[in-house]
Chains A and B, each alone.
Chain A
């Protein structure tokens, strides 16, 4: 786990974030926090499809220590590439990881 370089306040609770602004402590995260981060990122409503992506990313992160690649994500989460970009405009992997309370994905694909 990386060390926090700053703290932010979400829903009245202070939380550590890394250089990218992503939560460093997985224990800080819950669904309500995710909805609030999404709102800050400009996504007003997290739909079932958003949750499919978020939950899939958290599961892969717990198994492998990194977020999945977009290719793996679109093959296994039930959300295809076009949908993924529509759900998380302006950088799907990065945005979904932030909302999921995970660090920015390390892979290039």
Chain B
């Protein structure tokens, strides 16, 4: 522990969430919330399919990827059977609830209330033809990459 004191503590993080599966979204949310709990400033930046977590109509329907996910230890053909992804999602959500990890919408509300800023990526918003109204109300702004680096001054940038 003594050695750690030689280093400057982390004061600010900017976390990018780029994947739209449950397992792609949660690690970034947990890290952002954990940062705020430690008194570390935090920004969340959602890009590409990661935006599913903040699109009002989609955020309650995030699924675990059962195909193309070797860690599921499930043959591709099985993973593709209708209902398998929903079942895996249900099982994982149950385990997370036991650990007091909230569903995506509640989690977004919680980190935002905790003072974490939430942003959507301008390039992705344009590509998917989205508007500010398509997002949940916790989204603070739609940012360009340049804006993102601007608000990330002094932060550690974490890509997930």
The residues of A with any CB-CB pair to B shorter than 8 Å are 19, 69-72, 74, 80-82, 85, 89-95, 107-109
Instruction: Digitize B103-115: 1 where CB-to-A-CB distance is under 8 Å, 0 elsewhere.
Output: 0000001100111
Q: Which chain A residue shows the least CB distance to B40?
A: A91
B22 to chain A, nearest CB (A): 16
Q: Is the pair B115, A70 in contact by a Cβ cutoff of 8 Å?
A: no
B151 to chain A, nearest CB (A): 19
Q: Is the pair A89, B30 in contact by a Cβ cutoff of 8 Å?
A: no
Q: Which chain B residue shows the least CB distance to A5?
A: B1
**A interface SS class:** helix
A90: chain B residues within 8 A (beta carbon) = 39
Docked Cα-Cα span, A92 to B38, in Å, equals 7
Most A CB within 10 A of own CB, among B30, B33, B39, B109: B39
- CB interface residues, B 1-60, toward A, < 8 Å: 1, 30, 33-34, 36-39
B116 to chain A, nearest CB (A): 10
Enumerate the 10 nearest inter-chain pairs by beta-carbon distance, A residue then B residue, closest first: A90-B39, A91-B39, A81-B113, A69-B100, A82-B113, A71-B100, A109-B100, A93-B37, A91-B38, A109-B101
Q: Is the pair B102, A108 in contact by a Cβ cutoff of 8 Å?
A: no
The residues of B with any CB-CB pair to A shorter than 8 Å are 1, 30, 33-34, 36-39, 99-102, 109-110, 113-115
A80: chain B residues within 8 A (beta carbon) = 113
Partner of B39, one of A19, A89, A108: A89
A109: chain B residues within 8 A (beta carbon) = 30, 33-34, 99-101
Partner of B37, one of A19, A70, A72: A70
Q: Which chain B residue shows the least CB distance to A92?
A: B37
B63 to chain A, nearest CB (A): 21
Q: Is the pair A94, B38 in contact by a Cβ cutoff of 8 Å?
A: yes
Q: Which chain B residue shows the least CB distance to A86?
A: B115
Q: Is the pair A81, B30 in contact by a Cβ cutoff of 8 Å?
A: no
Q: Is the pair A70, B39 in contact by a Cβ cutoff of 8 Å?
A: no
Q: Which chain A residue shows the least CB distance to B109?
A: A81
Partner of B36, one of A71, A85, A95: A85
Partner of A91, one of B37, B99, B109: B37
B113: chain A residues within 8 A (beta carbon) = 80-82, 85
A70: chain B residues within 8 A (beta carbon) = 33, 37, 110, 114
B94 to chain A, nearest CB (A): 16
B114: chain A residues within 8 A (beta carbon) = 70, 81-82, 85
A108: chain B residues within 8 A (beta carbon) = 30, 34, 99
